């Protein structure tokens, strides 16, 4: 029974990883994520502060690792 459960958990990790990658990159296909969260009337200083606070000013790989850490 334990062997069956372990195998099922391991085989479900791959689709879960693919789905998480898809969600991460689909959210970034629209361009700058700050444009999705902030109104058009936001100033450049507000946009920069939002990017720094939420880590959008980091490289994509760093953002991806932070995203996975948040999921776990």
The 10s digit of each residue's pLDDT in 28-41 is 887 888 888 899 89
Name the residue range of residue 63's domain.
Answer: 2-71
Question: pTM for this one?
Answer: 0.71
First-residue to last-residue Cα distance in the chain: 25
Give the torsion sign (CA, 36, 38, 55, 52): positive
Count of structural domains within the chain: 1
Closest by CA position to 68, among listed 17, 9, 34, 13: 17
Higher pLDDT, 46 or 71: 46
Query: For residues 56 and 33, is the Cβ–Cβ distance under 8 A?
Result: yes
Per-state percent for the chain, helix, strand, coil, to nearest 5: 75, 0, 25
């Amino acid at each position: 029974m334990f062997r069956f459960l372990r195998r099922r958990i391991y085989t479900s990790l791959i689709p879960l990883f693919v789905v998480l990658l898809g969600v991460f990159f689909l959210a970034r296909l629209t361009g700058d994520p700050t444009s999705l969260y902030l109104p058009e009337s936001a100033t450049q200083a507000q946009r920069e502060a939002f990017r720094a606070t939420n880590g959008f000013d980091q490289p994509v790989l760093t953002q991806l690792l932070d995203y996975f850490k948040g999921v776990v």
